[in-house]
Structure formats: structure tokens, C-alpha cells
Amino acid sequence: MSYTKKSEEKNRVALLVQYDGSHFNGWQIQNKGRTVQGEIEKALEVLLKEKIRTTAAGRTDSGVHALGQVIHFDFSKDISDISLQKLCISLNGILEKDVAIKNAYIVPQSFHARFSAVQREYLYIVYNHPQRNPFIIKRAMWVSYDLDMNFLHNISQYFIGEKDFASFCKKESTEENTKNTVRRIDEFEVTKNKEFIFFRIRGTAFLHNMVRIIIGTILDIYNKNKFPGYVLEILEQKDRNASGKTAPAYGLYLNQIIYDPPLSAMKSAYLS
């Protein structure tokens, strides 16, 4: 399938982006503070010599990292004049080292980084050891007490399915989220590698702070020696006050965005 556009039409490109969120005030451009969107748009303007506005698959908060953020943008140059590999290399040469373009794709005008996504996957990392690790500062949440993997696996299964996650949404959430707090979690896997525990959550969409509140609540239930099924009582209350603390932002990673057809089916700078 060809996505070549007429010369007077805009061309659309998608980028696979990774960043360390430690020194960003989140993804979205704000009046004050450094943002990932602001840095990428400035780099694109320098490279393409035109004002560029980007759209992301998901807005990450301050301190949250991304292994597989996807964005798209339109530009007026002929698509045949652009080498996707050169685009990645040039942008990475302009950007600071805490953000990188991993791949670039030519996509049709119908592609939308946010609305075309069929699933989103987040990863939350916990460092589980009695003593701190200087190498995981701003990379993982440190939990010094021993966590039981059977408990974590059992409790994770209660979140799977379509449910009202009002108890797992930030109180000051947007009006849109307040009206509809029903979301669907398709997969929730908990694995361990040495002293690191990985919570992998995949679903169609997520409420503001939803993953972080889920992790904080799991740890709260564990510490209070409640049964994993207590999650159902929290869900039924539909009240943020019923759930646990919000886990730190720096343990959260936007892991990947899933599309149908997948981005790997598009012309790209590198094989996915």
C-alpha cells in the first residue's frame, strides 16, 4: 500500500520515542518547565524548517519514563525527500541525551497516535531488597520488606476485565474521566528477576494515575494483611479515599502502544 501524498498535501510521520522522565515536567507543553513535547517540537522545527505540532499516544506525568511512546506529526515537505534513518539520526543529534527517537514510520493521514491505539501497556518496577541501591534512584520504587510473589500474582488477577476504576483515579482528574471511569485491563502480569519485581499492565486506556494507584493499593493491602479479594470491595466503593497511596512516578514506564495494523507493517527507518 502506498501512502505517497500530493505535493500540496501534508505528510504524516510517526516516531517511536524513549525518554527518562526525571528532568521533565511531563510530556505536554506547559507555560513553565521543560517538557518532552516541547523538546521534540523544537528539534523538529530546527530540522524541518517549519513549525511542527506533535500528538502523543499518551500524556505522561512529571517523572514518568517511556520505553515506547508513540507520536505523530504532519509536515509539508515531499515525503520522498525525507530519509527516515536520517530523520532519527538528526533528531537525536539535536535532542538532549535523556530523550531519543528509536524509530520513524511513514503513516497514512488516517493514523492517529492516540485514537488509533487499540491497547496501551505500562510497566511498573519495584526494587525489593532490605538495602537501598544507588543505581535505581529515579528508576524504580524501593520496597525494603519482602514481597510474596504468590500474593502479588493473585491480587493482580482481580483487576483484569472491564470495571469501574473510580477508586483508582486521581481526585483532581479531568471532567471527561470523572464522567466515565470504566476501563478495561486485558493483561496484568507480575514477574521477578533477582531483586526486581515487574508489574506489566495492558489495557485499552487508563485513568489519570490509575496504574500508580493500583500499585500503591496492592502494597497497602499487603501491609495490612488483607486478602487479595479486598480489591473488589475497593472497586465497589468507587471512591479514591478507599484505595491506597499513589506509588512514585519514577517507577512507572509507558512500555508500548499497540496498533492494528501494527507500526511494524509501515515503512520505517529500522526493522521493528
Catalytic residues: 61
DSSP lists the bridge partners of residue 197 as 126, 192
Strands 99-107 and 182-193: unpaired
CA distance linking residue 53 with residue 128, whole number of Å: 41
Please state, in angstroms and rounded to a whole number, the distance separating the CA atoms of residues 159 and 61: 22
Phi, psi (deg, nearest 5) at residue 98: -95, 10
Cβ(134)–Cβ(140) below 8 Å: no
Q: Output the CA–CA distances (angstroms, integers) from residue 71 to 27, 209, 235, 253, in the order listed.
A: 11, 21, 33, 16
CA–CA separation, 190 and 222 (whole Å): 15
